[in-house]
Amino acid sequence: MKFLDEAKVWVKAGDGGDGVVAFRREKYIEFGGPDGGNGGKGGDVVVEAVDGLNTLIDYRYAQHFKARKGGNGAGSDRTGAGSDDVVLKVPIGTQILAEDKETLLADLDAPGRRVVIARGGDGGYGNAHYKTSTNRAPRRADKGWPGEERWIWLRLKLIADAGLVGLPNAGKSTFLAAVSAARPKIADYPFTTLHPQLGVVRLNASEEFVLADIPGLIEGAHEGAGLGDRFLGHVERCAVLLHLVDGSQPDPVGAWRTVRAELEGYGNGLAEKPEVLALNKLDAMTPQAKASRLKALERAAGRRVHLISGATGEGVPEVLRALREVMREREAAA
């Protein structure tokens, strides 16, 4: 299924049904009086987060959603039928934004969470509603109220416990494939990953977490260069970031600083998230290069750097345990 993480849709709630003017006319009843019923309520438009979805592709081709009008009232003081709601099912983690693409209307970050995004109109009153002791035969009935309508943006931010970041070709997809059942595309050229991938990492029989891989970042990504900042939102919800640096290149410190600058430029708290740093592609480095690059990166980052190889699996279990330890600390603090 094609991945789509953003869609613009138009929603229109149902108008309320009309009230009616009617009078009771029956044999042997001398003073029937008004008995026009009220109109029914128009249907709402509801957005609901459900399990089993991970893309907004359903809203690429169907972009207009309209609820039905409420039923009109009838004689014998009968109220019109209310219309059913229209429910838009979206993946967990979907945000609903106003047409300006900035105002957040709702954040559906849990299964079953739902929000009424366009409320249906109330039904109009029939003439029975206006009957009083001094107005015994009103001939007034109201039209139903119009339902709300608006354009909205749906933006998906995947729910993951940990996120992979790094320059293109840093070995993120290889790492994800090595630690989970995910099978992302792997090739020896940049931007192999064109959309986010999720994988479930199982540490043991009782512990597991979700790991997200996003397309590689390049300098200027937060301003739209390369694949831009479009996919950085998918790691906003992560508790910890795993920053992979390609150890086979001559300047790992520069690569680390480039990605850190993009995280800071993007904002939204990404630069402040806990980070586990790993020098990848250990199998492609000579012992001398491994020692010098590891030392330089630890000096620049001011923290421990893990040496790993996503291809051979060397050092990978230690990195996974480090990620899980950060998650435990965050859970305890919460």
Q: What is the pLDDT of residues 25-41, one digit of tens each?
A: 888 877 788 999 999 99
Check whether 268 is labelled as a binding-site residue.
no
- In this prediction, residues 292-304 reach a mean pLDDT of 88
How far apart CA 318 and CA 212 sit, in angstroms, is: 18
Check whether 205 is labelled as a binding-site residue.
no
Three-class SS state of 30 = coil
Do 269 and 233 contact (CB within 8 A), yes or no? no
**257-280 residue pLDDT tens:** 888 888 888 777 778 888 889 888
- In this prediction, residues 216-225 reach a mean pLDDT of 53
- In this prediction, residues 46-74 reach a mean pLDDT of 91
Q: Mean of the per-residue pLDDT values for the chain?
A: 84
Check whether 104 is labelled as a binding-site residue.
no
Helix-strand-coil percent breakdown of the chain, rounded to 5? 20, 25, 55
- In this prediction, residues 230-243 reach a mean pLDDT of 80
Check whether 281 is labelled as a binding-site residue.
yes
Check whether 280 is labelled as a binding-site residue.
yes
Check whether 214 is labelled as a binding-site residue.
yes
Check whether 282 is labelled as a binding-site residue.
yes
How far apart CA 74 and CA 38 sit, in angstroms, is: 8
**108-142 residue pLDDT tens:** 988 999 999 999 999 999 999 999 988 888 999 99
Which pLDDT belongs to residue 195?
Answer: 62
Which pLDDT belongs to residue 54?
Answer: 79
How far apart CA 164 and CA 122 sit, in angstroms, is: 49
How far apart CA 37 and CA 262 sit, in angstroms, is: 62
How far apart CA 320 and CA 57 sit, in angstroms, is: 32
Check whether 227 is labelled as a binding-site residue.
no
| Crossing angle of helices 252-266 and 287-301, rounded to 10° | 30
Which pLDDT belongs to residue 10?
Answer: 96
Task: Provide CB contacts within 8 A for 87, sequence distance 6+.
Answer: 46, 47, 48, 114
Check whether 88 is labelled as a binding-site residue.
no
- 222 pLDDT band, cuts 50/70/90, is very low
How far apart CA 214 and CA 263 sit, in angstroms, is: 13
Q: What is the layout of strands, in order, in the sheet containing 94-97?
A: 64-66, 6-12, 149-156, 94-97, 104-108
The DSSP annotation for 283-314 comes to GGS-HHHHHHHHHHHHHHHTS-EEE--TTT-T
Say how many residues make up the chain: 334
Neighbour count for residue 327 (Cβ, 10 Å): 18
pLDDT exceeds 50 at position 189: no
Sign of CA dihedral 315, 202, 95, 190: positive
Check whether 81 is labelled as a binding-site residue.
no
- 175 pLDDT band, cuts 50/70/90, is confident
Check whether 169 is labelled as a binding-site residue.
yes
Check whether 166 is labelled as a binding-site residue.
yes
**149-164 residue pLDDT tens:** 999 999 888 777 888 8
Region of poorest pLDDT, from 82-86, 144-148, 231-235: 231-235
pLDDT exceeds 90 at position 284: no
How far apart CA 305 and CA 277 sit, in angstroms, is: 5
Check whether 284 is labelled as a binding-site residue.
no
Which stretch of DSSP H or E encloses residue 199? strand 197-202
Give the type of residue at 7.
Answer: A
**201-215 residue pLDDT tens:** 888 777 888 888 877
Check whether 109 is labelled as a binding-site residue.
no
| Crossing angle of helices 316-333 and 172-179, rounded to 10° | 80
Which pLDDT belongs to residue 2?
Answer: 65
Do 118 and 85 contact (CB within 8 A), yes or no? no
Which pLDDT belongs to residue 218?
Answer: 58
Q: Which of 267, 160, 272, 176 shows the shortest CA–CA distance to 221?
A: 267
Which pLDDT belongs to residue 221?
Answer: 46
- 194 pLDDT band, cuts 50/70/90, is low
Check whether 100 is labelled as a binding-site residue.
no
Check whether 195 is labelled as a binding-site residue.
yes
Check whether 261 is labelled as a binding-site residue.
no
Which pLDDT belongs to residue 9?
Answer: 96
- 325 pLDDT band, cuts 50/70/90, is confident
pLDDT exceeds 80 at position 1: no
* Residue with more model confidence, 315 or 169: 315
Check whether 203 is labelled as a binding-site residue.
no
Check whether 44 is labelled as a binding-site residue.
no
Indicate the pairing of strand 6-12 with strand 64-66.
parallel
Three-class SS state of 243 = strand
Check whether 283 is labelled as a binding-site residue.
yes
